[in-house]
């Protein structure tokens, strides 16, 4: 009996509004070898979001109980809300040989890298701060000024990522994203050490 090669753990990060979700969603529609990790959060569900598709929405008491039980590979408080990456779900998918893609903030991505030596990190960067503000405004985001303070900190850490993609042209950014994942797959030795 041969051991099955584990899937690659791909962490996509960058400022809110950089286009991470758009790139990931398109990739997952076109790729049958990957799965998306759905995070848990205590924030309120937005009108277009679906529980169990976009996030698992739970109250703070439930989330804290999950922390106590070691449910999360990493978790963090962001803009007053808790977000967590489910450990068992990720490890289970990787064991099947499928790749898993996480969409988490920069600090969470670096925490995953510390815990899982085989994790590969992709940073999605907006073309400019002005464009990012425009995107967040269109999306109806609140507290843009608070978010922009965090953007500067996040962009300063992009050098800790294996890949950086500037999302100035969606078609070009997507091709670069696909190439990065192809490269990660070629390098994947099947050991994520989580």
Total structural domains within the chain:
1
What CATH number corresponds to the domain at position 158? 3.40.50.300
In a domain, 58, yes or no: yes
In a domain, 83, yes or no: yes
pLDDT of residue 142: 62
Instruction: Categorize the per-residue pLDDT at 145 as very low, low, confident or very high, splitting at 50, 70 and 90.
Output: low
Q: What is the mean pLDDT of residues 138-150?
A: 65
pLDDT of residue 65: 98
Could you list the residue range(s) of the whole structural domain that residue 146 is in?
Answer: 9-187
pLDDT of residue 117: 86
pLDDT of residue 150: 75
Q: Cα separations (Å) of 116 from 46, 101, 119?
A: 31, 14, 6
In a domain, 114, yes or no: yes
Quick one: tokens of 108? 């969470």
In a domain, 90, yes or no: yes
Instruction: Categorize the per-residue pLDDT at 128 as very low, low, confident or very high, splitting at 50, 70 and 90.
Output: confident
pLDDT of residue 1: 40
Q: Is the model more confident about 141 or about 162? A: 162
- Strands (E) across 79-132 are located at 81-86, 99-103, 120-125
Is residue 130 scored above 50 in pLDDT?
A: yes
Is residue 185 scored above 90 in pLDDT?
A: yes
Q: Among the listed ranges 83-87, 112-116, 131-135, 155-159, which one has the minimum average pLDDT value?
A: 131-135
In a domain, 192, yes or no: no
Is residue 39 scored above 80 in pLDDT?
A: yes
In a domain, 59, yes or no: yes
pLDDT of residue 144: 64
pLDDT of residue 2: 46
Is residue 192 scored above 90 in pLDDT?
A: no
pLDDT of residue 40: 97
Q: How far is residue 2's CA from residue 190's CA, in Å, rounded to a whole number? A: 13
Inter-residue contact 132 to 19 (CB < 8 Å) = no
- Residue 129 CB: number of other CB atoms within 10 A? 13
Q: Is the model more confident about 180 or about 191? A: 180
In a domain, 194, yes or no: no
In a domain, 4, yes or no: no
Computed over every residue of the chain, the mean pLDDT equals: 88
């Amino acid at each position: 009996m041969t051991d099955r090669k584990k899937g690659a753990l791909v962490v996509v990060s960058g400022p809110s509004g950089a286009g991470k979700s758009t790139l990931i969603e398109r990739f997952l529609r076109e790729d049958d070898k990957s799965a998306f990790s759905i995070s848990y959060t205590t924030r309120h569900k937005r009108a277009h979001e679906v529980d169990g598709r976009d996030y698992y929405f739970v109250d703070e008491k439930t989330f804290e109980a999950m922390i106590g039980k070691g449910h999360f590979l990493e978790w963090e408080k962001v803009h007053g809300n808790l977000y967590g990456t489910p450990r068992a779900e990720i490890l289970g998918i990787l064991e099947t040989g499928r790749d898993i893609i996480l969409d988490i903030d920069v600090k969470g991505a670096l925490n995953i890298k510390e815990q899982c030596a085989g994790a590969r990190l992709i940073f999605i960067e907006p073309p400019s701060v002005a464009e990012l503000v425009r995107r967040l405004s269109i999306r109806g985001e609140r507290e843009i000024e608070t978010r922009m303070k965090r953007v500067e900190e996040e962009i300063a850490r992009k050098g800790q990522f294996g890949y950086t993609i500037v999302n100035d042209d969606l078609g070009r950014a997507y091709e670069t994203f696909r190439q990065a994942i192809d490269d990660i797959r070629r390098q994947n030795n099947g050991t994520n050490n989580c």
